[in-house]
Structure formats: C-alpha cells, structure tokens
Amino acid sequence: METLPMPLDTLAAQPGGLDDFRITSPREIAAVLRQLCDGNVRLNLNTPDGTVLGALLWTVDSLRDRLSFSADENDPMLPALLECDEAVVVGYLDSVKLQFDVSQLVLVRGGRDSVLSAALPRQMFRFQRRSGYRVRPLLNNAPLARLRHSEIGEMQLALRVLDLSIGGCALFLPNDVPAMQPGVQINQVRIELDADTQLLVNLKLQHVTSINPDSRGVRLGCEFVNASGDALRTLQRFIDQTQKRRKLMALP
C-alpha cells in the first residue's frame, strides 16, 4: 500500500488540476476525520525532509479548530517532526487514499499519555488506489468497450465491462470470439461509461481467466497504459457515483 504523499504539484499542472480530488467543506472534512478517528486508522505523518511518523488520530475538536494524534515521546522520529512544525498526513479509508496537511504541531504531555496537537486542516484530498477497489457497474448501466481484436485487426468488438478501477478494467469475451493472448497492448479503446461519458484509453491485457462453466465466455483482465489526467478524473467520478448508488440501493 502506497503511504507516500501524492505529488500535488504534478497533478495540479494537468488539465482540470486538483478540483476533482479536493475536499474543502468543513463539515465533510470533519466527517472524514471522525471516520479516521473512530476506525483507529493507521496514519503516516510525512515531513518535507523525509521523516515519517506513524500515528492514530485521537480527537477532532472542531470548536477549538484542533485535532490530536497519538504520540510516543520515545519515538526517535518525533523531534524531527516537531522541528518541522508541519506534516502531510496520509491514510486509507475503504481503499481510498486520503491526504491532508497539518501545521502548528505541538507535543502536549499528559499524566499518562502524550498527544501531538495540530491545527485542523482547511482542505483534504482523496485518491482512488490505482490497484485497489474495483467497482461493478450497475446492471441497468453496463459500460461497453469498443476495440479492435488484438489478433485480427479488422475485427471490431463491443465487449461488456465487468468491473472498473482507476487502474484498469475487466472485459467479457464471449466464446464465439477468437481468443486473445495475455501481454498484448490494445490501443485506442473507447469505453462508453454511459450515454454521455466516454474514455479513450490504451489497454494491456494482463490475464485471461474462466468465469464459470455457464458464462459462455472468459474474463480479460486489463491495465490502463499511461491514462491521461482527464481519463483518471472521469473514472474517479464514475466509481464514486456507482458506489453511492449501490449504497442507496442497499437502504431498506
């Protein structure tokens, strides 16, 4: 699991910048922080000089505009962290990478325990793990991938998308279509997420697997090759929306 901070300057330079990843609502930030706190999620505090301190988020005080992390006074990384006075916090919730800056770091010594106090962040970023959570499209909105057969260039295919992540997808290849071999790259694949949203990507076929005897086809596990920033942002929105719809459908 990647625990280093995402390169925000690099992402900001791409078309669309960081807007699709940024959270600025104080209420939403507080809700995410409470999830990290209640879930005892392990976090890494990273300083510009490369110091990394592992900690848990203990309290979130919106009224005083402060939060606190667990702190071990004997941790050799603590002095360097306090000297920097700021850090980038990285952690994961449901396979989503969260990242936010904290400043005004102060060690508060208590009777039995000590905590690391910091100012509440003003913004937060969330990034889908590249090889993490895969979402299955809703049955009434199954995306299609339009591509040329890797072995028979003149054969045009429209394959059903079985699942999607920010780093790749799985396609269904029917038994009546000639087989494809792992390792090939298929360029200029058009993925139609819905009637109004399309992606143009290059795919590398990583593996071909059977689904079940009654499926009448196989699963093509594909990785996106050098997907553009626009494509990644569109995928992120589609994954988020699909997850929200599934949660709504599961409500009684």
Please indicate, yes or no, if residue 234 is contained in any of the structural domains: yes
Is the backbone of residue 16 left (phi > 0), alpha (psi -120 to 50) or beta?
left
pLDDT of residue 121: 95
**Residues sharing a CB contact under 8 Å with residue 243, sequence separation 6 or more, in sequence order:** 135
Same domain, 73 and 160: no
Helix/strand/coil for 163: strand
Same domain, 169 and 236: yes
Provide the domain limits for residue 44. 8-128
Shared-domain flag, residues 164 and 123: no
- Please indicate, yes or no, whether residues 124 and 26 belong to a single structural domain of this protein: yes
Q: Is residue 3, in this structure, part of any structural domain at all?
A: no
Query: Domain check: are 118 and 167 in the same one?
Result: no
- 209 and 103, same domain (yes or no): no
Q: What is the pLDDT of residue 3?
A: 65
Q: What is the pLDDT of residue 172?
A: 92
Residue 100 shares a structural domain with residue 195? no
- Kindly list the strands in the beta sheet with 106-109, ordered across the sheet, starting from the edge strand earlier in the chain: 22-23, 124-128, 96-103, 86-93, 42-46, 52-61, 66-71, 114-119, 106-109
**Among the three residues 79, 96, 128, which one is the final residue of a domain in this structure?**
128
CATH code of the domain covering residue 153: 2.40.10.220
Other Cβ atoms closer than 10 A to 212:
6
Q: Which two tokens stand for residue 137?
A: 């499209």
pLDDT at 147: 95
Number of domains in the chain: 2
Q: Which of 103, 128, 153 is the last residue of a domain?
A: 128
| 133 part of a folded domain | no
Tell whether 153 and 217 lie within a shared domain: yes
Asked if residue 12 belongs to a domain, the reply is yes
> How much of the chain is in helix, strand and coil states, percent to nearest 5?
20, 45, 35
Residue 65 sits in a domain whose CATH number is: 2.30.110.10
- Is 156 in the same domain as 117? no
Report pLDDT for 117: 93
Question: Is 19 part of any domain?
Answer: yes
Q: Looking at 94, 128, 162, which one is the last position of a domain? A: 128
pLDDT score for 141: 65
Residue 237's pLDDT is 82
Asked whether residue 111 falls in the same domain as residue 221, the answer is no
Same domain assignment for residues 124 and 150 = no
In a domain, 2, yes or no: no
Q: Which ranges of the chain have pLDDT less than 70?
A: 1-3, 11, 13-17, 95, 111, 128-141, 212-213, 246-252
- What single letter denotes the amino acid at residue 84? C
